[in-house]
Chains A and B, each alone.
Chain A
Amino acid sequence: EDQVTQSPEALRLQEGESSSLNCSYTVSGLRGLFWYRQDPGKGPEFLFTLYSAGEEKEKERLKATLTKKESFLHITAPKPEDSATYLCAVQDNYGQNFVFGPGTRLSVLP
């Protein structure tokens, strides 16, 4: 059974204080690992797809990396508007379904 955990559960940063969010997974054949951002009362917004260990993707202040057991979402010099819940999900090679982690609630204080 595919499983995803995320840490920390919640993270408070000062504006400009860089940090990383962790997503650990177990899956029987990884097709893809996905990062999403979710604002309160909204649907998740797609950020990145990672397919294989060693792959990296960047978008503005965010960079996602992938190993065989975990993924990191690095946030460089965050701003208050980066405050949101960040979700990761995995998809295995045997189906279409995503398994989501519980998310990390990020708060960036001005």
Chain B
Amino acid sequence: GAVVSQHPSRVICKSGTSVKIECRSLDFQATTMFWYRQFPKKSLMLMATSNEGSKATYEQGVEKDKFLINHASLTLSTLTVTSAHPEDSSFYICSCNTGGGYEQYFGPGTRLTVT
């Protein structure tokens, strides 16, 4: 299967600061990457779809100015949580589609804690 990495795996930041999370496809090129967030014992909620070289498409209710997504290359997408607040604390997961099929391959996730 395809390998997707995320960095960092865990981050703790203070309220009001910004945090950047990286998502990389390691052994394939990903035209499209997806960003999800997951609360404890809940399922994945899609935040946005990131296409290389173009603006991300955000789901209803997700603030694009707060969750900045940059898909600068076919192997890297970044999610920046700006002016983070405690309610932004969550598990953020990215996924990629290889283009060879419809399935998505997920990264290991990033645990964000805002104090």
B109 touches A41 (CB 8 A): yes
Q: Mark B1-45, 1 if CB is under 8 A from A, else 0.
A: 100101000000000000000000000000010100000011111
Q: Mark B33-72, 1 if CB is under 8 A from A, else 0.
A: 0100000011111100100000000000000000000000
A32 touches B109 (CB 8 A): no
* Residue tally, chain A, CB below 8 Å to B: 21
For A43, A96, A97, which residue has the most chain B Cβ atoms within 10 angstroms? Answer: A43
Please, which residues of chain B bring their CB within 8 A of the CB of A87? Answer: 43-44
CA distance A34 to B1 in the complex (A): 14
For the complex, is B113 an interface residue (Cβ under 8 Å from A)? no
B residues neighboring A (CB under 8 Å): 1, 4, 6, 32, 34, 41-46, 49, 91, 93, 95, 97, 101-109, 111
Q: List 24 A-B contacts (CB under 8 A).
A: A31-B102, A36-B106, A41-B91, A41-B109, A42-B108, A42-B109, A43-B6, A43-B106, A43-B108, A44-B44, A44-B95, A45-B106, A46-B103, A46-B105, A46-B106, A49-B102, A87-B43, A87-B44, A96-B32, A97-B34, A97-B46, A101-B43, A102-B42, A102-B43
Known: A46-B104, A46-B106, A100-B45. 9 other contacts (CB 8 A): A41-B109, A42-B109, A46-B103, A49-B101, A87-B44, A96-B32, A96-B49, A98-B34, A100-B44
